[in-house]
């Protein structure tokens, strides 16, 4: 049994999707975990009111074909859910289901989650998130499948299987978690805590049509023809990073997973079904974030923790860190960025957002949820110069 399967899936034509799913799932152990009568939860990426062709959400045809396979295997019910950014209410989420085409999965026999309860978790084994609030519908599932979308991401560089479990946090509470874990490394550790708590039995990535550039919501749809699967969300992400030109150290969730020895240091140490080289997207437009933050204290002076090196590293980190920046010509002055900012670092002045850099925690919530894509991830001048 392979650690990760990566197969070609050139379109969302149902027969092609089914064949790709059967090949990928078969390579990593199939649906052998399914028992007759069980309830399977599928945690999709339904981040916002976006049509499938935008490349931001898990495609309904793939969800429909997975539902059919689970039903054929004997699952009594398949429930699809998510808690996107915004209100976690029936009215709000029903509109998300409608916009993202979830009626296709429903027609194939899936249920769309209508349980909007919230639960409290205690997780003593967590690195940082020892207590957290989560969406109660997951408790009613005998097994959880993590069905993510492959996209660029402002804060985490890439959003895939690991980051998809952040959707277990109720939508209106997400900014609180950004504020609680403003450091990218700690935020990533929190994400891995969620993965370890919910322990999806299977992770699948929809990279048939992904998103590059100003992701994860306002980037450009990119045809990539990729479908992947693994028993581990982190192993799947490690291969996905390679496919879109990112190193392990570029992606904070992969660093957090490697820190816990959940993945090897190099993707080549995995047993992979499929030809990674032939499926690489060699000109994928990533967002420069963590990979711009080179710790020059160690580079110039060797490893160590003396006060001078620590101070120098902090200065360079601030000088090189990407930050959100508004494109005035694209901004409509709706003020949503100011409303969602967990650090209250944005104020509207003359119908344009102004960011207080002393308060900004670089969580990129404003960039992720700007309805017009006017908030961009901006690299500093020194970062551009040093990374030429």
Domain shared by 251 and 123, yes or no: yes
> 75 and 190 in one domain?
yes
**273, 305: one domain:** no
- Could you read off the pLDDT of 44-73 as tens digits, one per residue? 999 999 999 999 999 999 999 999 999 999
Residue 356 forms part of a structural domain:
yes
Domain for residue 344, yes or no? yes
Q: Is residue 285 part of a domain?
A: no
Q: What phi and psi values does residue 210 have, to the nearest 5 degrees?
A: -110, -160
Q: Which of 257, 279, 301 is the last residue of a domain?
A: 279
Q: Do both 273 and 314 map to the same domain? A: no
Residue 133 placed within a domain: yes
Using the 3D structure, point to which of 234, 250, 279 is the last residue of a domain.
Answer: 279
Say whether pLDDT at 378 is over 70: yes
Looking at the fold, whether 213 and 316 belong to one and the same domain comes out as: no
Q: How far apart are CA 230 and CA 234, in angstroms?
A: 9
Question: What was the pLDDT predicted at 369?
Answer: 82
The rounded mean pLDDT for the chain is: 91
284 inside domain? no
What is the average pLDDT across 27-47? Answer: 97
pTM surpassing 0.85? yes
Quick one: 84 and 150 in the same domain? Answer: yes
H-helix segments, 146-216: 161-164, 174-180, 184-198
Number of domains making up the chain: 2
Alpha-helix residue ranges (DSSP H) falling in 102-183: 103-107, 161-164, 174-180
Res 112 pLDDT > 50: yes
> Do 238 and 380 share a domain, yes or no?
no
Q: Is the pLDDT of residue 294 over 50?
A: no
Three-state DSSP class for residue 76: coil
- Of the listed ranges 187-201, 249-263, 304-318, the least confidently predicted one is 304-318
Q: What CATH number corresponds to the domain at position 304?
A: 3.30.70.20
**Residue 300 neighbours by CB distance under 10 Å:** 10
Same domain, 222 and 351: no
Confidence of residue 310 (pLDDT cuts 50, 70, 90): low
Assess whether 255 and 298 both reside in one domain.
no
**How far apart are the C-alpha atoms of 366 and 175, rounded to whole Å?**
10
Pairing relationship of beta strands 39-44 and 143-153 according to DSSP bridges: parallel
pLDDT, position 377: 82
pLDDT for the residue numbered 364: 86
Quick one: 274 and 333 in the same domain?
no
Query: Are 315 and 272 in a shared domain?
Result: no
Q: Which domain holds residue 156?
A: 4-279
Q: Hey, which of 239-253, 276-290, 303-317 has the most confident mean pLDDT?
A: 239-253
Residue 167 scores a pLDDT above 50: yes
Mean pLDDT for 250-262 is: 97
The dihedral region occupied by 223, where left means phi > 0, alpha psi between -120 and 50, and beta the remainder, is beta
Residues in the chain: 388
Region 9-29 average pLDDT: 98
Asked if residue 139 is part of any domain, the answer here is yes
Q: Which of 279, 313, 332 is the last residue of a domain?
A: 279
Q: Say if 31 falls within a structural domain.
A: yes
Reply yes or no on whether the pLDDT at 329 is more than 90.
Answer: yes
pLDDT reported for residue 318: 57
User: What's 113's domain CATH number?
Assistant: 3.40.50.11440
Same domain as 40, residue 144: yes
Is 340 or 285 the better-scoring residue by pLDDT?
Answer: 285
Q: Residue 307 falls within a domain, yes or no?
A: yes
Interval 150-163: pLDDT, tens: 999 999 999 999 99
Share of the chain above pLDDT 90, in %: 80
The stretch 221-244 carries a mean pLDDT of 98
Task: Look at residue 238 in the predicted model and tell me its pLDDT.
Answer: 98
């Amino acid at each position: 049994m392979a650690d990760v399967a990566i197969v070609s899936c050139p379109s969302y034509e149902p027969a092609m999707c089914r064949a790709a799913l059967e090949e990928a799932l078969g390579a990593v152990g199939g649906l052998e975990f399914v028992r007759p009568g069980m309830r399977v939860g599928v945690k999709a990426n339904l981040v916002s009111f976006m049509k499938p062709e935008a490349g931001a959400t898990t495609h309904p045809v793939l969800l429909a074909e997975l539902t059919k396979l689970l039903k054929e295997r004997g699952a009594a019910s398949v429930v699809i859910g998510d808690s996107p950014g915004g209100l976690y209410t029936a009215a709000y989420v029903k509109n998300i289901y409608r916009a993202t085409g979830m009626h296709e999965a429903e027609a194939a026999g899936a249920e769309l989650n209508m349980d909007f309860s919230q639960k409290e978790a205690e997780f003593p084994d967590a690195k940082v998130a020892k207590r957290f609030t989560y969406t109660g519908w997951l408790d009613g599932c005998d097994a959880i499948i993590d069905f993510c979308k492959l996209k660029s991401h402002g804060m985490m560089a890439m959003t895939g299987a690991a980051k998809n479990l952040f959707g277990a946090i109720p939508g209106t509470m997400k900014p609180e978690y950004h504020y609680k874990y403003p450091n990218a490394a700690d935020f990533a550790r929190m994400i891995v805590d969620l993965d370890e708590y919910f322990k999806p039995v299977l992770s699948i990535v929809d990279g048939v049509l992904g998103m590059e550039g100003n992701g994860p919501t306002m980037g450009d749809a990119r045809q990539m023809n990729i479908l992947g699967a693994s028993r581990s969300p982190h192993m799947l992400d490690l291969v996905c990073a390679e496919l879109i030109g990112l190193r392990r150290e570029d992606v904070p969730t992969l660093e957090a997973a490697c820190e816990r020895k959940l993945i090897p240091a190099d993707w080549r140490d995995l047993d992979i079904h499929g030809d990674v080289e032939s499926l690489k997207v060699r000109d994928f437009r990533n967002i420069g974030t963590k990979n711009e933050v080179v710790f020059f204290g160690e580079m110039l002076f060797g490893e160590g923790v003396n006060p001078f090196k620590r101070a120098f590293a902090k200065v360079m980190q601030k000088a090189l860190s990407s930050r959100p920046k508004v494109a005035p010509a694209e901004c409509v002055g709706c003020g949503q960025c100011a409303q969602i900012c967990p650090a209250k670092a944005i104020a509207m002045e003359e119908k344009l957002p102004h960011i207080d850099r002393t308060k900004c925690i670089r969580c990129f919530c404003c960039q992720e949820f700007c309805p017009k894509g006017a908030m961009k991830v901006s690299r500093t001048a020194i970062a551009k110069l040093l990374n030429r």
